[in-house]
Structure 1
Amino acid sequence: MKYFAALVVFAYLYAVQASVYLEENFDDDTWEKNWVYSKHPGKEFGKFVRTAGKFFSDEENKGIQTSEDARFYALSRKFAPFSTEGKDLVVQFTVKHEQNIDCGGGYVKVFDCSLNSEEMHGDSPYRLMFGPDICGPGTKKVHVIINHNEKNVLINKDIRCKDDVYTHAYTLIVRPDNTYEVQIDGEKVESGELEADWDLLPPKKIKDPEASKPEDWDDRATIPDPEDTKPEDWDRPEHIPDPDATKPDDWDDEMDGEWEPPMIDNPEYKGEWKPKQIDNPAYKGSWVHPEIDNPEYSPVPDLYKQPEICGIGFDLWQVKSGTIFDHVLITDDVEYAQKAIAGLKDQQEGERKAKEALDNAEREAAGGDEDKKDDEEDEDDDEEEGAEDNVPPVHEVSGNLSIFAVSGGA
């Protein structure tokens, strides 16, 4: 009983301590009251529209969609500030590139309270950047960038993003033990330690600046054989006159100059001679620069910690618009985040079926247009044939042409 009671207390304390700092599902048109468009000069910004898209599992499940091609997008909102000290940080949202995106971002940026939403632009300082980025076949990655000491540092691992046209959930978890996890659709795709997978701190070890390779260090595994000599008959020209060539009969030495046969590859040519290689008796192996502790390195036990978070935004460029963002969540509750996307697989399956039905309808419509076009072409052909049928007959009379109308006779 005591053990059970302790579990109940622990669960209660966890429920009390766990917090949801932002949950935005764009349930109605009031979302625009909380989100602010940037007015930063010098950029042509696009607008977001609330929609379920062209194909969907549930028409009521709407997000915000980029609506204009070849535009920057800068939209953000703030919420009550919090610190991640001693707790998990979970950043999660869904992305649907239903336009089959060719080049554009699908990520979010997380800010502290210094963000001026109306001035947000590409160089605005942020704390985290996370999410997919696609541009051509070469760039299909999940960005995970952490700001440390006012420097943006990209993860040194390559995480591939989804590049289809259906909804996918992206989740970043940063833990107080300085570890992290990246999930796509609730499944782990990458994890590790912050210090190991980002260059957030100076390296622990550096090459000893006092050390250098000894002058007598020989790192050549093989050397030319000093006993080897070039054969006397080795040297042959690379090209020789073609022995089978003859001067053309119409060649005029006075007009054309002295005739010379064309050159061909010499079958006896052996190339540049080099002595054979033998093992180097003085070989000592590859010299390894010794390392020492880096005096500039010092461990940071709370590398994970973000002292202040109170904003999130979309700061993007898209060549082809149509991306739908939804279910934006910032919390310290990993289980809550998992539950928030519990119906994702059913949503994806519904979207696939809706996409298939849409494609079939478009094909049928296109086929109907082709049939109509064919019918119109057939009608035109029939009219042309009918016109030919109405041409008056031509009769030959005594070598002269005499034309008779179809009606009226001769």
Structure 2
Amino acid sequence: MTEPELDLRKLLAARLHATRMRPYLATALFALHPVPSRLVPTMAVDRYWRCYVSPAFVERTPLEELASVWVHEVSHLLRDHHGRGDRFAARRNLSGPGERLRMNIAADCEINDDAFGEGLPSPEGAVVPAKLGLPAGELMEDYLLQFRLGPYTREMAWLDCGSGADGLDRAWDLGPDGAYGLSAQERDAVRFRVAEGIRGRPGSVPMGWQRWAEEAFHPPQPWRDLLGAALRAAASAAGAGDDYTYARPARRSASLPGVILPSLRRRPPRVSVVIDTSGSVSDAELGSAILEVAAIVRTVGGRRDLVTVVPCDAAARTVVPLCGAEGIPLTGGGGTDLREGFARALRAGVGGARPDVVVVLTDGQTPWPQRRPPCRTVVGLFPRSTARTRWSEQDPDYRPDSPPAWARVVTIG
């Protein structure tokens, strides 16, 4: 008996049904590229956002159930189960396919306790915490500490959601250089868009996804607290964010009959973010820079109209106002001279006004302005190891200058 060809129309119709039932996951669902594979038991994903699909599974599975599997598989990627599995295995010195199967089961427990219903039926054989006698609503790492493989998990041995669920490479994976994969920057951008959509409709999203979205915006990373504190300190300095208004007259106007004096008010600071887009900055670091921009927007009270972004390598790119941009075009890839970025940020700030704070996100391989800018400056440095860094192909003895003393420096990562 010959294997059937992949019914792509049915598969894509199932994805469309999944987006109708879970609209907040639409960006992620359409970022997945389906790849037919007869090696896959059902459907599986890799860390590069490819979805490997068994043609026989698509043929025998009802469309609504296929939609549920779409949601299930993309959930592994959004929640970074492969990365979390790798980190858990490294901390506890775990190895082998048995431990990775246990991670897959634990990851499924995290996803499936609130993934189905409301138009998405539970797929046949779906693993839920109750099957293992475990409580609902916990994370993969919590479940991994509560069960081992044994007779009661034997019926789950078929489970294989791919390397995107547990981090262990499969025979069918196309790998990092294969077609249709997403870069680290693109993967981070998809997660950010989904988290932003979830936060915009909290009343219609399960609690597990709400928690994930909050952690996507506020990950437990100490440098973000330091960067936020440095930005708040710069923004609260004397003179930063001060302006006069006639909406509320000054109190001393009472001593001057017939004269209306403006009062001094404090407004959220204008912030220009200069992002190093040179060739020495990785896609993962650019993705991290996008998340830092989101954190900066929160620091100024969510006022996207007060934040601009200046991508810069050896030349400063177009100033991007966040209030009118669908995304942040981080173009570049050449050498590095952030003096151009400083000049562009100070010349074309928010609404043409000079920024109160300049935030620079860079790996530090750049010349710095000789003069202190006329506003507070915060530098977020991507860490570099001297042993693995080639500072200059032309001059092997060259070392970049440290950030100037007038900048508040925070190491990111």
TM-score by length of 1: 0.21
Higher relative contact order (CA 8 A, sep 6+): 1
Q: As a proportion of its length, which structure holds more helix?
A: 2
Q: As a proportion of its length, which structure holds more strand?
A: 1
Structure of larger gyration radius: 1
TM-score by length of 2: 0.21
